[in-house]
Amino acid sequence: MLIVQRPSPPGAAGGTYRAFGETLRGMKTTLARVIEGPKTISYPEEKVPVYPRFRGRHKLHRFEDSGLEKCVGCSLCAAACPADCIRVVAAENTPENRVSAGERYAAVYEINLARCIFCGYCEVACPFDAITMGQDYEMSDYNRSDLIFTKEMLLDEPLERTPLRNDGE
Amino acid sequence: MPKPAAETITFTLDGLEVDSPAGLMLADAAKLGDVEIPVFCYEPKLGQPVGACRMCLVEIEGIPKLQTACSTPVRDGMVVLTQTDRVKEAQEAILEFLLINHPLDCPVCDKGGECPLQDITMGWGGGRSRFIEPKRHFVKPLALSPLIAIDRERCILCYRCVRFSQEISEDYQLVLQERGAHSYVSTFDGHPYVAPFSGNIIELCPVGALTSQAYRFRARPWDVEGSGSVCTLCPAQCNVEFTVRDERVMRVLARDHAGVDDGWLCDKGRFAYQSVHVDSRVTHPLLRVDGELVPVSWDRALDEAAAGLRSAGADTGAIAGGESTNEEGFLLAHLMRGGLSSSHLDSRTGGTLSRDLHAALHAPQRQACVEDLEFAHALLVLDCEPVDDAPVLDLRIRKGIRRNAVKLAVATSRPSSLDPNAAAVARFAPGAGEAFCAALNAALGGEDTVVDELAAAAGADPAEVQALAAVLTDAGEDVVIVYGERLTHGPRGEHAARALLNVAGRVITAGHDGCGLLELPAGANGRGLREVGVLPNAGPGLTPVTSPGLDSGGIAAAAASNQIEALYLLHVDPLRDMPNRRLWKKALARATMVIAHAAFLTDGLWEHANVVFPAESYAEKEGTVTHPDGRVQRLRPAISRPDAVRGEWQVLADLCKRLDHDPGVLTGPMTSATLFAAIPFLAGLTLDEIGGRGVRWPERPQAAAWPQADGGPFGLEAPPFAPTPNGDLRLGTFRSIWAAPEVELSPALKFLRAHQRAELCPADAQRLGVAHGDQVTVSSNGSQVNAIASLRASVPGGTVFLESGLEQDSASELDAGLVEITRA
Ligand code: SF4
Ligand code: SF4
Ligand code: SF4
Ligand code: SF4
Ligand code: FES
């Protein structure tokens, strides 16, 4: 036969502590925050500043002097992209229609931002620093297809909507 | 020279024993031991190695200096080291040298991602450059030809392209100019490198120095998928790989198959894919309503076609063009013989041969294969021009002569591009193949007395015939005869076939490997179509039919005289592809119902077709085709069909159903299976067995089911005399490789589109007062064509050659025989 040994039952004070002790500890934390005031940010009126290396929506760049596109349509970003969301169709520059500095240029450059995982590999792969990750993270839209950003959209000066976190902030 | 048997030897590779066939170059033998030796200039397809790049250096015990693995044959007991410090140092040094002048172009270079120089630099290079001096510069990119762009800065001077031009295609156009670091690839005087096989150098170049103008910047290797199929633009049926991006064919690459193409393609096969995506393609069923072809629904088109066929019934004639697959031909025969009780169907363009002659000419024991061209003792090229009729075989013939000392005998009417390589050349009058074969037969049999007379009938020189016979008898026992289908064309085609079989009987040992006959059909799948029953006098598998129908010429004549009401044109525009254009014009105009499967509305269809079903392109097709040597090959769809295009087997099956003769096929593979089951010598064949390499049915045991036929010797009648040129000239016709709608419609190839030229010899030209380049009119029997006079010293006197298959001024406007030439 198995004999079970039980501890003696707690007294009244001990019983109360057992029932409410943990709750009180929790309440202590809660009450302590009350005096700190609210931390909620009223997005979109207010925005959290991002770090300088935050990887948001991409930008394509032009040379400042000549205005030519830096991208030569080499498709290396598309090769590097783990989400397979970049599509490049290249074409040849002609003297009448010179778009980029090299022999070829991107006739079509599209990033499907609905698929992008913002890993930044495209930026690393680009041999001409033609594509970089920007800070913008506000890209929601009503339509999936509107999330396919074309070359023109990526080349456009983006609306600087996202505040940048200053040094040491 | 018969194919040599290789013995096996053993050598040591990095400490491991490796077995290899004797005589293999080390670069290849090392692969057997799973060691890759980097190479740039080495390419076994190009013949003897040249050791130009030094990339392949290895250490061999007992030899103090490093050796080039690409040019050192492996020997028994050899001890080879590929991973020592000395070898590594040498490899790094060579790469450093190669990159000294190499531009940093990878991002804009078309080769990027599939570039051996990139790969080998990553794998074997030092990873660092010490060179800071300026690099060598050339103007770039330049057009080497309208098809090929050259970037000389990227060239690593491996010689591959030059060797191809000098030793493979033997057009002798590309050379290396200047010396040392200033060397560059070019034609001698800078003229564009235009040749039937020029595109191959794009694939050969190990860097991005030679790139395709048509593919330039279209895609990267990671953007595309490769899809293997077969080119059906000519009977050579080269194995190709379509590069596909976004459901579009972007380029065509060779898919190396020693039994078919040896890894080469002609420029038509390489660039004519562009015609798949042109705007003028028919992509909807069309119906003629009030004289105009308008797009209609499939149901409407099929109903109209079925109604037309039903009312014509047995008065329907059908022609299948060369690019139709076996399945399509089979279903067409099913439709005609079963649904309409008509046997008026044909896939040949020039008259009927009896079943027995078909069976004898293509009997498995008398069938040569493509590889035999390379290893024969002697080869007779008879009444065909390989570079036009099956281009890639031209390279094979040249290879055999160059590497295996094959003795070539050429017997043609028109001067052949193989003449300079031939041990004996004989010319005969156009269309006199029968008399020529009879003369050759007599010469081979030692009946010298009749040779002279027969040669005279053929318009040939008896001495040439004798010399030709001597080549065929003296070379050795393996003799291959390559003949054009046109030899057996015409009203006396059967006599010509018998004469040919007599010649074959004298020089070919039936049943012996390495010799035999090889026909170059007029259509890409000519052989397959005949074997599946698209003949007026034979059903599937060359089975006898109770009441033979009319052949193509007969169909035209019957339609022109209102005896045939409906015409079914499967991938053929008779005005383009058939002889006797005048008769066909009348036939098409008189027929009440003309139903066509077509991808493009060529003239005849544009004017006369009542119903046009959109045809699949060869990149979309599913089915099988049969190579002239009996290899059944499989077409696989590389891209999906555009717009409303349907599988044509399905269209034919639907029509059969509407005519209450359901073939019971629901899918493409099911059609193939039904076809194989219906043909005794293909019994048991499956698409899986055919796979990507094809199966030669004459080599399968079921080949025994091929109908037996008497192969001769036959008693020959005296052939008629070729017409004597009495001031007028004999007309010879040929169809060049470029005379095809696919070429005209492909933007890249447009510049090659054929124009009518009248080729004649300078003596005749002088007599007629015609100079090279003059506009002339060639006329016979009231019809005429315009042409540019082209003087060729090698054209035999009294003969003029015109091209057929052209859109305008095609030779098919004229009747065979004598023509008159006047300056326009
Ligand atoms: S950030 Fe990453 S996932 Fe997004 S486009 Fe670039 S490579 Fe592709
Ligand atoms: S040839 Fe190869 S290594 Fe040279 S630029 Fe082109 S891709 Fe780069
Ligand atoms: S162009 Fe290409 S194939 Fe020709 S020598 Fe230069 S690197 Fe070799
Ligand atoms: S030789 Fe014939 S089959 Fe080969 S690529 Fe050229 S057209 Fe196509
Ligand atoms: S591969 Fe051996 S020298 Fe070029």
Helix/strand/coil (H/E/C) assignment for every residue in chain A: CCCCCCCCCCCHHHHHHHHHHHHHHHHHHHHHHHCCCCCCCCCCCCCCCECCCCCCCEEECECCCCCCECCCCCCHHHHHCCCCCEEEEEEECCCCCCCECCCEEEEEEEEECCCCCCCCHHHHHCCCCCEEECCCCCCCCCCHHHHEECHHHHHCCCCCCCCECCCCC
Question: How far is A164 from B641, CA to CA, in rounded Å?
Answer: 51
Cα(B105) to ligand 2 centroid in Å equals 6
Closest ligand to C-alpha of residue A103 is 2
According to the CATH classification, is domain B355-520 in 2.40.50.100?
Answer: no
Tokens linked to B310: 């039903």
For residue A5, pLDDT over 70 is answered with yes
Count, in order, helices (H) and strands (E) of chain B: 26, 34
- Residue B577, token pair as written in the block: 């592809």
- CA A120 to centroid of ligand 1, rounded, Å: 5
**With an 8 Å Cβ cutoff, are A103 and B108 in contact?**
yes
Residues of each domain in chain B carrying CATH 3.40.228.10: 355-520
Structural element, H or E, at residue B507: helix B493-507
Best mutation target among B213, B216, B217, B246 (most A Cβ atoms within 10 Å) is B217
Q: How many CA atoms lie within 13 A of B739 on its CB side?
A: 27
Structure tokens at B765: 């030209």
CATH architecture designation of domain B139-277: 2-Layer Sandwich (3.30)
Q: Say how far apart CA B269 and CA B699 lie, in whole Å.
A: 28
Q: How far is B108 from chain A (nearest CA, A)?
A: 6
Q: Residues near B264 by Cβ (< 8 Å), separated by ≥ 6?
A: B45, B168, B197, B200, B238, B254, B392, B395
Q: Which residue intervals of chain B bear CATH 3.40.50.740?
A: 287-349+525-693
Residues facing residue B380 across a β-bridge = B409, B481
As its CATH architecture, domain B729-823 has Beta Barrel (2.40)
Residue B231 CA, ligand 4 centroid: distance in Å: 6
Structure tokens at B235: 């009977």
Residue of A nearest to B104 (CA): A127
Q: Which residue's CA is the nearest one to ligand 2's atom 8?
A: B106
All residues at 6 or more sequence positions from B342 whose CB lies less than 8 Å from its CB, including other chains: B313, B314, B315, B316, B317, B318, B336, B549
How much is the mean pLDDT over chain B? 94
Could you tell me the two tokens for B41? 């200039």
Taking CA atoms, A57 is separated from A131, A167, B242, B651, in Å, by 10, 22, 36, 50
Asked if A104 lies within 8 A of B106 by C-beta distance, the reply is no
Query: For residue B696, what are the β-bridge partners?
Result: B631
From residue B94, alpha-carbon distances to A31, B41, B53, B531 in Å are 76, 13, 8, 56
Evaluate: CB of B159 within 6 angstroms of ligand 3: yes
Beta-carbon contacts of B753 under 8 Å, excluding residues fewer than 6 positions away, are B738, B743, B744
Apex B347 CA angle, B667 and B803, nearest 5: 125
Considering only CB atoms, which chain A residues are within 8 Å of B112?
74
Distance CA B623, CA B603 (A): 28
Fold type of domain B9-83: Ubiquitin-like (UB roll) (3.10.20)
Q: Apex CA B591: angle with CA B589 and CA B593, to 5°?
A: 115
- Radius of gyration in angstroms for the set of CA atoms belonging to chain B, rounded to a whole number: 28
List the structure tokens of B247. 């459901």
- For every residue of B673-728, DSSP letters joined together read HHHHHHSGGGTT--HHHHTTT-EEGGGSGGGGGSPP----PPPPPPPPPPPP-SSS
- What's residue A33's pLDDT? 87
Fold designation for A58-155: Alpha-Beta Plaits (3.30.70)
CA distance B360 to B367: 10
Residue B508 pLDDT > 80: yes
Q: For residues B801 and B429, what is the distance between their CA atoms, to the nearest angstrom?
A: 11
Residue B173 pLDDT > 90, yes or no? yes
Nearest CA to ligand 4 atom 2: B234
> What pLDDT score was predicted for residue A169?
62
Angle between helices B448-458 and B462-474 (to 10 degrees): 120
* Tokens found for residue B601: 């509305």
pLDDT at residue A77 tops 70: yes
B110 CA from centroid of ligand 3 (Å): 14
Identify whether B796 is preceded by a cis peptide bond (ω within 30 of 0).
no
**DSSP secondary structure code for residue B164 in this structure:** I
State percent of chain A over pLDDT 90: 54
pLDDT at B703 over 90: yes
Atom index in ligand 4 nearest the CA of residue B240 equals 5
Q: For residue B627, which of B427, B795, B396, B335 has the smallest C-alpha distance?
A: B396
CA torsion sign, B672 to B674 to B676 to B678? negative
**Band of residue B2 on the pLDDT scale cut at 50, 70, 90:** low
Option in B112, B141, B218 nearest A74 (CB): B112
Q: For chain B, how far is it from start to end, CA to CA, in angstroms?
A: 52
- CA dist A93 → A69, A72, A100, B460, B696 (Å): 11, 10, 7, 58, 49
3-state helix, strand, coil in chain B (%, to 5): 35, 20, 45
Is the omega angle on the peptide bond into residue B713 within 30 degrees of 0, that is, cis? yes
Least confident of B141-150, B265-274, B491-500, B507-516: B507-516
Query: Which residue would you say has higher pLDDT here, B470 or A37?
Result: B470
Could you give the CA distance from residue B769 to residue B785 in angstroms, rounded to a whole number?
A: 18
Contact B113 A103 (CB under 8 A): no
Tell whether the model's pLDDT for residue B209 goes beyond 70: yes
Across B584-593, average pLDDT:
95
Closest CA to A155 of A117, A78, A99, A104: A99
The CATH code for residues B287-349+525-693 is 3.40.50.740
Question: Does B49 have pLDDT greater than 70?
Answer: yes
Please report which confidence band the pLDDT of residue A167 belongs to, taking 50, 70 and 90 as the band edges.
Answer: low
Confidence of residue A92 (pLDDT cuts 50, 70, 90): very high
- What is the rounded distance in angstroms from the CA atom of residue B317 to the CA atom of residue B692? 35
The pLDDT of residue A69 is above 90: yes
**Cα separation, B7 vs B76, whole angstroms:** 11
Count other C-beta atoms under 10 Å from residue A38's C-beta: 8
Task: Kindly report the nearest CA distance between residue B115 and chain A, in angstroms.
Answer: 14
Residues of chain B with CATH 3.30.70.20: 139-277
CA-nearest residue for atom 5, ligand 4, is B269
What token pair was written down for B44?
């076994």
**Mutate which of A68, A69, A72, A75 to disrupt the B interface (most B C-beta within 10 Å)?**
A75
What's the rounded Cα separation, in Å, for the pair B177 and B142? 16
3-state SS assignment for residue B22: coil
The answer, yes or no, to whether residue A48 has pLDDT greater than 90, is: no
Peptide bond just before B720 cis, omega within 30 deg: no
Residues of chain B with CATH 2.40.40.20: 729-823
Q: Left (φ > 0), alpha (ψ -120 to 50) or beta: where does A137 sit? A: alpha
> Per residue in B54-113, pLDDT tens?
999 999 999 999 999 999 999 999 999 999 999 999 999 999 999 999 998 999 999 999
Q: Would you call A75 and B222 a contact, using CB atoms and an 8 Å cutoff?
A: yes
Residue B559 CB contacts under 8 Å (≥ 6 apart), including other chains: B317, B565, B567, B586, B587, B588, B590, B591
List CB contacts (< 8 A) between A88 and chain B: 220, 223
